[in-house]
Amino acid sequence: MQVSLKQNSPEWLEYRKSKFNASEAGDVMGVGFNKPYRLAEIKYADAQTFQNEAMRLGHEYEPAIREYLKAKFHLDLLPVVWCSDDDERFSASLDGYDLMENAFCEIKFSDKEFAYLKEHGRPSDKYFFQIQHQYYVTGAKRCIFAVGRIDEDFELEIECIEVARDEKAIKELIKAWNKFEAEYKPSGALDDEWLEISGKLSELSAQSKAIEREINELKERAIAKAGGVEIKAYGLTIFKTERKPSYDYKAFCEHSGAKIPDEYIKAGSVSWSVRVAS
């Protein structure tokens, strides 16, 4: 359903805080400008968002690109805000929508995205998921994706394609949004210290995983280079480890029906842990 809000107005900005917005779809899928924990700070803790140069130019050139699309595809495209009829958590602010044709457009202004579109004939992943989010929210039948840039003659150059609806991608997106809400939406009161701790832990956890992957890759290369021979050189030691057979007592008890006497059961304990969302 269409929402009577003007894009970029204070009311529109307030409305977006409580919604899953199409422009955030790339972030929640892990391919956008913001990591999920940063998106959580923006949505749930009123963290400040920043407008980069591409976004500023996008707003500046959007009307001209929209007029180009209207003439090229014979569409009556108008900026609108939509909320999903199926799930009111989902919202999309469309750069242009034609009610009669049930078609919309998504407009970008970026040298990098322009080159990607020319080379691959499709939007990059962050914008692909944004478009699929818009398809889900609107139920539209057609999407025109357009990217503008200023060429060497200082003229506006536009590249555009049609992007089809992808049901598999939409299901993945909905699943990712549900996971994001479950992991990041606060269940209690927040303060500045909590945000600092959570943000730093998320950042360090991501760095740690990347470092661990690189370490494991280097270890595998070293083992392969050793060629099955134990070696010690330049601080690296390649050695073989043999493990003795072990017993799966739990599986044995389940298979045989055996029951462990109470005197052999260790008492339980309580501890606290921290799980960092990926």
Q: How many domains does the chain contain in total? A: 2
Residue 269 within any structural domain of the chain: no
Residue 34 within any structural domain of the chain: yes
73 and 158 share one domain: yes
Q: Which domain holds residue 136?
A: 2-184
44 and 14 share one domain: yes
The residues, any chain, with a CB within 8 Å of residue 82's CB and separated by 6 or more, are 1, 2, 3, 91, 92, 93, 94, 97, 134, 137, 138
12 and 148 share one domain: yes
Residue 266 within any structural domain of the chain: no
Mean pLDDT split into 10-residue runs, the chain, 278 residues:
87 90 95 86 70 68 95 96 95 96 96 96 97 98 96 92 97 96 78 76 84 91 90 86 82 82 79 71
47 and 100 share one domain: yes
Residue 274 within any structural domain of the chain: no
Report the alpha-carbon distance of residue 258 to residue 114 in Å, rounded: 67
User: Taking the C-alpha atoms of 74, 78, 79 and 83 in order, what is their torsion angle to the nearest 10 degrees?
Assistant: -90
124 and 222 share one domain: no
pLDDT of residue 157: 95
Measured from the Cβ of residue 35, the count of other Cβ atoms closer than 10 Å reads 16
Which CATH number does the domain housing residue 111 bear?
A: 3.90.320.10
pLDDT of residue 4: 86
Residue 146 within any structural domain of the chain: yes
Residue 277 within any structural domain of the chain: no
209 and 96 share one domain: no
Q: Is 88 left (phi over 0), alpha (psi -120 to 50) or beta?
A: alpha
pLDDT of residue 55: 66
179 and 137 share one domain: yes
pLDDT of residue 241: 86
Complete DSSP assignment for 126-147? HHHHHHHHHHHHH--SEEEEEE
Complete DSSP assignment for 49-111? P---HHHHHHHHHHHHHHHHHHHHHT---EEEEEE-SS-TTEEEEEEEEETTTTEEEEEEE-H
pLDDT of residue 110: 93
Measured from the Cβ of residue 27, the count of other Cβ atoms closer than 10 Å reads 24
54 and 152 share one domain: yes
Measured from the Cβ of residue 30, the count of other Cβ atoms closer than 10 Å reads 13
Last residue of a domain, one of 119, 154, 184: 184
